[in-house]
Structure formats: C-alpha cells, structure tokens
Copies of this chain bind each other. A is one copy, B any other.
Amino acid sequence: MQKVIDYLRKNQSRFVQELCDYVRFPSVSAQPQHRQDLQACAEWLLKHCEAIGLQARLCPTDGNPIIIAKTPRSPSARRPHFVVYGHYDVQPAEPFDLWKSPPFEPRIVGRSLFGRGASDNKGQNLAHLKAVEAFLKTGTELPCDLTFVIEGEEEVGSKNLATFLKSHRAELRCDAVVISDTGIPSLKHPALTYALRGIAAFELIMRGPSRDLHSGIFGGSVDNPAMALSQLLAQLRDKHGRITIPGFYDGVAPLSAYERKQMSRLPGSDSAYRKFLGVPKLFGERGFTPTEQRTARPTLEINGLTSGYQGEGSKTIVPAWASAKLTLRLVPNQNPAQIIKLVRRHLAKIAPPTVRLEIKSGHGAEPYLVSPTGPEAQAALRALRAAFGHEPVLIREGGSIPIVNDFKKHLHADTLLIGLALPDDNAHSPNEKFNLDCFAKGQLMGAYLWQELAK
C-alpha cells in the first residue's frame, strides 16, 4: 500500500494538469450545441482510462455515450466486485458574466481549481481513476474487481441510465456501488452519506363556481375555492410541525441513538443556520433538531399556490378555482405510492361538499438508506478516516438522488455516497471550484476504500 500512496503523492501536479484537461471540455448536457463536446470529452476519458491500464469502451445510448472501464480481471477465484459511478457532463455555465474567469479555462488560485464541472463531478470521479491508476502502475494487486460507469446525462436526469443498467445488468452485477458526487461539511469532517429522502409530488385543484364571480353580487352565498383550499391545506400540518395525514408516520424508521449522536457532531449552530436562511425563527417538527428535521424526518411542503387575480391592485372576484403544488419528502421506510394513497383518501374525506377537489399525482422517488453500522458503511468510514486524518461524520441528505434507486432496482446493489465537495464549491453556480486537497485526499480515500471493502 505504501507504493500506492507514494505514487499518488509524487504525481499530484500531473493529476491536476489532467483534471484541467478534463474540465476544458464544455460538456454541457443541457445544451444541444455542446453535443460534440460531450462526445469529445467521452473519447478523451476513454483514452485516459486505457492509458492507466483499464479495459474501456464507449457504450452508445439514445443520448450521450456511457463509458465502461474495468480493472483487469483476476483469472483466479471470484473476488468482490464494485461499480464506481461518475458523470462527465456538467451544468450550463450561464450567466457567464458572473464568472471571475472563463468557466472552461481552468484557473488555480491557492488550493482551488476553478472551472465548470471541477467539483461536480469531474474532479471527484477523476480522483477514483487516479487511485486505481496508482494500483495498476505500481503493480499493486487490487483486492477486488472494479468497473467504472461514467455517464454524460446526469445533469439532465440520467434519462438513459436505467435502460443501460438493465441491458448490462449481468456485466455490472456487483457487491456495491460507490459514488463520489455529494458533499462534506469541511476537510475536517469527511463524510459518508448513508440516507436520502424520497419524494412524492402532487397537485390539488379546488374548483368552485363555473367562472370567476363578482364578489359583490355573489360573494357570501357561495364557497370561495381559495378559502376552501387554504382550510384544506391548513389542516395538513399541526402547530407542532407534524403532518396530520392518518398513517403518514407508520412506515418511518426511527432514528437510532447512534445516528442522532452522529448528527449532533456536524458543525454549525442553529442561530447561524437561521441567519443563513433569513427567517425570524426556525420551525420544524417538535422533538427533532433542525438537522434531523431536514434530513431524517418526512415533510409536506407547499411549493406553489395559484388562484384568481395576481396582478397589481385588486379584482373583486370569487375565483372559479384555486390550486396548490405539493411535495412530500419521505424517509426510510415510507413508500411513495402508499403515501399518495393515504393522501388521496384523507383529502377526499376532509374536502368540503361545496367545492370539487381534483388530485393529480406527480413523480415519486423512494427514500434510501444504507445501514450506517453495516460492513460497507463501516469500511467507508475507515477509508475516510485514514485518508483525511479526521473522524468522519455520518450524513443523511434531505434531497433525493434518483440514480441510487436505479442501482438498487436493476443491480440489486446498495450505494455508498462518499462525496468530496465542500459547501462553498458553487456546484451549479458561477465560479464552481474544486479543492485540490479534496482531490488528493479523495484519491487516498479511493485507494484505502477497496482494501477496506474487500476485508
């Protein structure tokens, strides 16, 4: 292992130059004019994988190609097999005028490498490739088989990934998937993200009179759909921040004492968080900390309200209808389809007879959890500790990462989310950067990870 570590240390400056080459491709998947840049980026990556000793190929899809790159397989007995996922496509760089230097001309300032995609996700997936390069170039035997899957459509919803996984499921059958595409609170807080919230989206449309009515002539003798909607919505959350839909919390896996203790180790204060959000007072489900509330507890959020007149001044009408867009954030082990059933049943029950309620279901995604005390998670924590020299933290993420569910569904594999991005990396924003210490420690983490996972 010392040879691997030495190789990584000695080659840092070359690795940084290679990351700059990678970032120079304007591989913006959302913009059709960059189709050729995505192809060129994929071909560069293919050659790079081959150069470091991987068996690589480009797999065409209905969109941008997906790269498969494998470590040379041992002819001996079956070894553990892990898939490492990453993406070579990036977010649009607009608005260009907010960038301090051109987004596709990488620039190094101190320990920051600025450029679109530097952190999300080129720097993070290149760190894994560099770790494997160190094994292959020093003749150090890897304790497992690895397959890199690097796609070019993550920023536009990974719309061809599921089909790809399905058609390659034999080749990609594995013991776990590793993704470095999430964040860490600081270099002193390396992190494993072990849980994600799921989601269920729906829309309510409350219909009253057949057209907007003059509120002077008719108001008072007919229900107001905007009021009926407000009263319906108001009943869905109590004053303690609990969702009042019967059965809503039935599936929720409680937080263990270990998890709560781990969460409490995260840096930051409630008062700094309150100021960051700009609210007069924080609010959430009683009995939980803000971190728990936003990552480990389910929510019901109104994302939008629409009714009647919204222009300047006033229009004296009883509006014909009112609508609300809602999303529920779900936690392990809630099931989106089941929850939507509960919602429909409850709303139909409490909706007044004076209006007509329509409920439209939208997209859903399962919540996700890898046991933080299981062998894979513990292996990841050991690798993080060794690479960063600090005790790692365990993180639940409040949002969803839908591809994690694709891996679960098609490969039946759990995913380890071991991100390398810092909170100020400006992912998706102007002046995105990647910290070169995160890059170097990420390579080390990658090197340790396979040892630990194969134990």
- Chain A interface residues (CB < 8 Å from chain B): 197, 199, 201, 203, 208-211, 213-224, 226-227, 229-231, 233-237, 241, 273, 277-285, 290-291, 293-295, 297-310, 313-319, 322, 324-325, 327, 329, 352-356, 362-363, 397-400
Contact = CB atoms under 8 A, between A and B. Distances in A.
Contacts of A222: 277, 279, 282-284, 294
Given A218-B277, A221-B294, A304-B307, A316 B199 contact: yes
B233 A216 contact: no
A223 B355 CA distance: 28
A236 B214 CA distance: 21
Given A208-B279, A284-B222, A302 B354 contact: no
A303 B280 contact: no
B302 A220 contact: no
A355 to B, nearest CB: 7
Given A201-B314, A219-B329, 7 more contacts: A215-B327, A220-B298, A221-B282, A224-B302, A303-B308, A314-B325, A314-B362
A213 B273 CA distance: 13
A293 B220 contact: yes
A301 B224 contact: yes
A241 to B, nearest CB: 8
B355 A279 contact: yes
B284 A220 contact: yes
Given A217-B294, A221-B293, A306 B310 contact: yes
A263 to B, nearest CB: 12
A315 B324 CA distance: 12
A216 B329 contact: yes
Contacts of A282: 221-222, 354
Contacts of A211: 278
A354 B281 contact: yes
B294 A220 contact: yes
A331 to B, nearest CB: 10
Given A230-B229, A231-B234, A209 B278 contact: yes
A79 to B, nearest CB: 37
B209 A277 contact: yes
A280 B315 contact: no
B329 A215 contact: yes
Contact of A279 (B229, B306, B317, B354): B354
Nearest to A318: B301
Contacts of A319: 302-304
A408 B280 CA distance: 47
B325 A315 contact: yes
Given A277-B213, A293-B221, A324 B208 contact: no
A319 B305 CA distance: 10
A245 to B, nearest CB: 14
B279 A219 contact: no
A215 to B, nearest CB: 5
Contacts of A273: 221
25 contacts: A197-B216, A208-B279, A209-B279, A213-B277, A214-B398, A215-B303, A215-B327, A220-B294, A220-B298, A220-B329, A220-B398, A221-B290, A221-B294, A222-B284, A227-B301, A233-B234, A279-B355, A302-B308, A304-B310, A304-B315, A305-B305, A305-B307, A306-B306, A314-B362, A314-B363
B237 A227 contact: yes
Contacts of A201: 314, 316
Contacts of A317: 301, 303
